[in-house]
Structure 1
Amino acid sequence: MKEVPIWEKSNLSLEEAAAYSGIGINKLRELTNEKNCRFVLWVGNKRLIKRRLFDQFIEQEYSI
């Protein structure tokens, strides 16, 4: 089976999002634990990062 590149995926795991953005996994967990986080998708206990919304979030933030 062919593996899809990270920049073409719509949802990323925490590890993929950390590699994609350069933000640490612990910081991503902290950001996605907030109630009003728009770029997290919960699948049971698994947390996925919605890549397009995550990109928008990063563009708007001055510091994390």
Structure 2
Amino acid sequence: MFDEQSRTVPIWHKTNLTLQESALYSEIGINKLRELSDSEDCLFVLWNKSKRLIKREELDKYLNKPYSI
């Protein structure tokens, strides 16, 4: 039998994150992440039909650049 906790991948090991996971990971609110990723030229968003995923490594790169968001 598989234990659900043993199959859980830590957020910092995932390549793509949901908005909720991204908010936990980056400590930025979901609404602000949604606002930032709505732009067509956003480099850290991945659309799977209507599902929005955040590319963790690209988000890290983006957050290292600006002084404030």
Give the whole-Å Cα distance in 2 for the aligned partners of 1:57 and 1:44.
23
Matched, 1:6 2:11: yes
Identical amino acids, percent of aligned pairs: 56
How much has 1:47 moved relative to structure 2?
0.2
1:17 corresponding residue in structure 2: 22
Match 2:32 to one of 18, 27, 31: 27
Number of aligned residues = 64
- Using the size of structure 2 for normalisation, the TM-score is 0.90
Structure 2: 5+ residue stretches without partners:
none
3-state secondary structure, aligned to 2:60: helix
How much has 1:35 moved relative to structure 2?
1.0
Larger-Rg structure: 2
- Using the size of structure 1 for normalisation, the TM-score is 0.97
Structure 1 runs, 4 residues or longer, greater than 3 Å off: none
How much has 1:39 moved relative to structure 2?
0.3
State the Cα RMSD in Å: 0.7
